[in-house]
Amino acid sequence: MNISVLGAGTWGLALARMLALDGYNVTVWSAFKSEVDDLSINRCHKNLPGMVIPDSIVFTEDMAKACRDMGVIVFAVPSPFVRSTAAKAMAYIPDGQIIVDVAKGIEPDTLLTMTEVIKDELNKDGNHQNIKLVALSGPTHAEEVARDIPTAIVSACLDMDVAKVVQEVFSNTCMRTYTNTDVLGVELCGALKNIVALASGVVDGMGFGDNTRAALITRGIGEIRSLGMSMGANIQTFSGLAGIGDMIVTATSNNSRNFRAGQLIGKGVPVPEAVTQIGMVVEGIHALNAAVKLAAKYHVDMPIIMAVDAVVNHGADPRQELARLMVRPKRSEIETTEVETRFESSLYTNRRNKMKRVITYGTFDMLHYGHINLLKRAKAMGDYLIVALSTDEFNWNEKQKKCYFTYEQRKALLESIRYVDLVIPEENWDQKRTDIHDYNIDTFVIGDDWKGKFDFLEEEGAEVVYLSRTPEISTTQIKSDLKK
Ligand code: C2G
């Protein structure tokens, strides 16, 4: 398979080398001809000492050549250049192309993640509706991948089949790739963990210890999880390789540019000077503005992110910021998720005791509190209530009822009731027997105006319960009252 890597930085080159050694035909594109020439001839990169670039890798600054007939195109340019690179590549990327983004960051003004930026840019010509975007992210220092040090990474794509294709490409004896479909969660982690890494470097630079760093990492991934959950990410992602995994490797290692930049800042070096000394893109600083905006947009409390923003962008003293974090109002680790915790445990209890399913049948026209009383009591007899709603045809042919509301209207009303979990059509008198089996029903419930009529359902293994009608109210009653 032909694979191209857009971007000849340390990460792009480390991946290109790995893929080439794995037998793929690898092309590396760079925007700079000088860089192309240097890498082609010298076959090494100044920030990857000791790494030899395989001869099979072709370097080019010709985007057409870098995008034609590629099984996979990897975006490995620094996050600020992802959009412009996508714009340059647009004319040459065929629709349906698998694109893997390994750049980590969030676009400051649009708050888009990197795969969203690529999609946004490529959609501008209307010819890229079927692009398959994959976020490849995890605890992966380029320097270590370049030395074939065992590494794990996540291939995230909404389409699991595509995630598996990329998993196949990036799996070998040195790289173990896992799939995920939570692209948003994976990309958020990749972008925002750089900020926590910066904070970790700052406290290290201030001379604080492992305890402080561990506290920052733990609460830092918790802040990112809170934001991610409010944006619709999957909670499991944050305890995975792209989440806590990448956080550990970035916030505890001198390989990390963000950690090293933080150390300098912690030692009192002014931020611009620290960045210059690092000499490469410090993604954590780029991600800060976006993180602060996202925290505000989703009303998520992110004290560590805000403290880093105060130090980096508003000249605050790191010591004072850390002191403030230490004396914030006391918190519990579970208070915010108390409700969720109870709900989850109730689910487990129910699952352990096998969720009980209840079914009831009816027309439910002109929905009124008599119906609600019935549904409320029916739901209370189990954990999941199905309502088999009489269709307009069934009502007319079998019950001589002409409903005021159509089936669809009556269905929408029922589905908005919190006691009702599922509405299915009641099309004939006989479906009850099969419904009991098709829906694994434990209990059949109906008003006692039907008392004795459905006892036969006990033969199907269901409990049959007749509940008292609410006496003074009925659809007929409502209609006649309204007539007066
Ligand atoms: N109900 C009630 N109290 C009322 C009115 C209705 O408890 N004042 C109950 C009925 O006993 C029934 C449910 O609400 O269990 C729906 O009532 P209808 O729409 O009138 O249902 P019905 O026409 O009886 O259809 O195959 C069974 C039939 O579809 C039941």
CA of 429 to the centre of ligand 1 (A): 14
What are the pLDDT digits (tens) for 242-297?
A: 999 999 999 998 888 899 999 999 999 999 999 999 987 788 888 899 999 999 99
| Atom 17 of ligand 1, residue of closest alpha carbon | 362
CB of 474 within 6 A of ligand 1: the answer is: yes
Which run of H or of E encompasses 447? strand 443-447
Confidence (pLDDT) at 337:
55
Closest ligand 1 atom to 364 CA:
19
Closest ligand 1 atom to 401 CA:
23
pLDDT value at 241 more than 70: yes
Confidence (pLDDT) at 341:
65
Banded pLDDT at 32 (limits 50, 70, 90): very high
Mutational test site, ligand 1, from 364, 365, 368, 371, max ligand atoms within 8 Å of CB? 371
Residue 160 CB contacts under 8 Å (≥ 6 apart), including other chains: 179, 181
CA of 354 to the centre of ligand 1 (A): 28
- Note the CATH number of domain 338-483: 3.40.50.620
Classify domain 2-181 by CATH architecture. Answer: 3-Layer(aba) Sandwich (3.40)
| Atom 26 of ligand 1, residue of closest alpha carbon | 361
Closest ligand 1 atom to 399 CA:
23
What are the pLDDT digits (tens) for 148-172?
A: 999 999 999 999 999 999 999 999 9
Coil, strand or helix at 423: strand
What are the pLDDT digits (tens) for 372-419?
A: 999 999 999 998 999 999 999 999 999 898 999 999 999 999 999 999
CA of 446 to the centre of ligand 1 (A): 7
What are the pLDDT digits (tens) for 324-359?
A: 999 999 888 876 555 666 666 666 666 656 679 999
Q: Which residues are known to be catalytic?
A: 193
What are the pLDDT digits (tens) for 426-451?
A: 999 999 999 999 998 999 999 999 99
CB of 395 within 6 A of ligand 1: the answer is: no
CA of 353 to the centre of ligand 1 (A): 30
| φ/ψ (deg, to 5) at 365 | -80, 150
Confidence (pLDDT) at 355:
79
- Sorted by where each begins, the domain ranges of the chain are 2-181, 185-326, 338-483
* Residue-wise DSSP of 94-137: PTT-EEEE----B-TTT--BHHHHHHHHHGGGS--TT-EEEEEE
**Cα Rg, the chain, nearest whole Å:** 30
Q: Do 338-483 and 2-181 have the same topology in CATH?
A: yes
Confidence (pLDDT) at 93:
97
| Atom 12 of ligand 1, residue of closest alpha carbon | 447
Average pLDDT over residues 210-226: 95
| Atom 7 of ligand 1, residue of closest alpha carbon | 469
185-326 belongs to which CATH class?
A: mainly alpha
Banded pLDDT at 147 (limits 50, 70, 90): very high
- Residue 284 or 178, more confident: 178
**Taking the complete model, does pTM exceed 0.75, yes or no?**
no
Residue 176 CB contacts under 8 Å (≥ 6 apart), including other chains: 150, 151, 152, 153
> In this structure, are residues 139 and 151 in contact, taking their beta carbons and an 8 Å threshold?
yes
Spatial distance between the Cα atoms of 451 and 131, rounded to a whole number of angstroms: 59
Compute CA distances 400 → 52, 278, 426, whole Å: 84, 81, 15
